[in-house]
Amino acid sequence: MTLRTRLLLGYGYLVALLMVSAVSSAVAFQGLGQGIEKMLDQNYASVDAAQIMLEALERQDTATLQLLLDPAGSRDGLAAADEAFGKGLSRARKNITEPGEAEVVARLEAAHVAYLPSRSALLAAPGAQALASYRASTAPRLREVQAQARALRELNEAAMRRADQDTRGRAVRGSAWLGLVVLLAVGSMAWLTRKLQRDFLARLGHMGGFAQAIAGGERRRRLPVGEPDELGLVARLLNETLDGRDRLQGELEGRLNLHRDLVLGLVRALGAGAVLCGEDGELLAAGSPAPAAEWLAAVQLWLQGPGRVQLRAAETGEGPREVVAALPAGPGQGARAELLCTAAGRAVGWLVRPPA
């Protein structure tokens, strides 16, 4: 598997985890929103309607007692309480959402229908019979209507409590799931970081140290190939290149040694006292037996002085390409120096021999 593929898979896995966490969060928040919306839009409306009806019943009871005490009093308060009860009952009837709520509303409506004739008969009864009629008939029917209204309120309050518990449960489950995803993402990030450090950054650092070692002249060091990826391919190619360089260098050294031996053999073949010197007078090869040190020092002194002048003149074209000079080389001795040039005319050294 290539390094590119592994990096793409690793980061793709992290992106997938982030997407899962984002989707999970969205689903959890949507569930919470639905639970809260149900409580507010459905159950709370029924609880509010039941409370309105209970308050209207209290006002009806108060207005009824006031009319018993003062039959000639105004009935506006009673009419207003009846209207408020009717609005609350209509609201409860339109907002039936829980199991059994329709039956409670039906019983509430039936109890109220039974209560109204009793109240009307109570208000039409003579004053002496009104209190007994209220206690015997009207008050029990009113309490029944109130009981059904309380039952409606308690039914929706219980539903609100259940919705609240369900919402809390969803929140806890969503938080646990999101925490698990985050924990998995953090663990995966740590694992990928360690793997990236081991498989990529550490190998790059090793390559940097390897490059510095090679630049410093170390020849035997090689890179471990490791994984068959791009870095492994680079390591293998570098190793092959260095191996090829060593083979080529060995071949060159072999050829240089051969050429040196040929030069030494040639110088020896020229006879005793012959020496081969470089452009600056450095001794490169000498025949056998070796020349005297005083003679060789005198030759090198000439090569570094007048000989250098003749060499520069030959290179610039101001002097002949082929220079054969007789030079003094110590008391009682002479020397004959020949400038050696390539086929292209470039001076490469001197061949110095004793005079013939």
**Total-model pTM:** 0.49
In a domain, 188, yes or no: yes
User: Are 54 and 165 contained in the same domain?
Assistant: yes
Distance CA 93, CA 96 (A): 6
- Per-residue confidence (pLDDT) for residue 338, from 0 to 100: 83
pLDDT tens column, 194-247: 877 777 777 777 778 878 888 887 878 887 877 777 777 788 888 888 888 888
Q: For residue 233, give its domain range.
A: 222-269
Q: Which of 269, 286, 305 is the last residue of a domain?
A: 269
- Identify the band that residue 325 occupies on the pLDDT scale cut at 50, 70 and 90: low
pLDDT tens column, 96-105: 888 888 999 9
pLDDT tens column, 153-202: 888 888 888 877 887 787 788 778 778 877 887 887 788 778 777 777 77
The angle, 0 to 180 degrees and rounded to 10, between the axes of the packed helices 293-304 and 306-316 is 40
User: Are 30 and 165 contained in the same domain?
Assistant: yes
For residue 79, the domain's CATH number is 1.20.120.1730
Please name the residues in contact with 200: beta carbons below 8 A apart, sequence gap of 6 or more. 3, 231
- Per-residue confidence (pLDDT) for residue 344, from 0 to 100: 74
Residue 259 has pLDDT above 90, yes or no: no
Angle at 62 between CA 59 and CA 64, to 5 degrees: 110
Residue 30: how many CB atoms within 10 A of its CB? 12
Q: Which of 235, 269, 303 is the last residue of a domain?
A: 269
Nearest to 281 by CA among 237, 339, 222: 339
User: Are 121 and 7 contained in the same domain?
Assistant: yes
In a domain, 344, yes or no: yes
In a domain, 217, yes or no: no
User: Are 187 and 172 contained in the same domain?
Assistant: yes
Residue 33 has pLDDT above 90, yes or no: no
User: Are 265 and 275 contained in the same domain?
Assistant: no
User: Are 284 and 177 contained in the same domain?
Assistant: no
The sign of the torsion formed by the CA atoms of 67, 69, 74, 76 equals negative
Residue 74 has pLDDT above 80, yes or no: yes
Tally of structural domains, the chain: 3
- Identify the band that residue 84 occupies on the pLDDT scale cut at 50, 70 and 90: very high
Mean pLDDT computed over 93-119: 89
Contact 199, 227 (CB under 8 A): yes
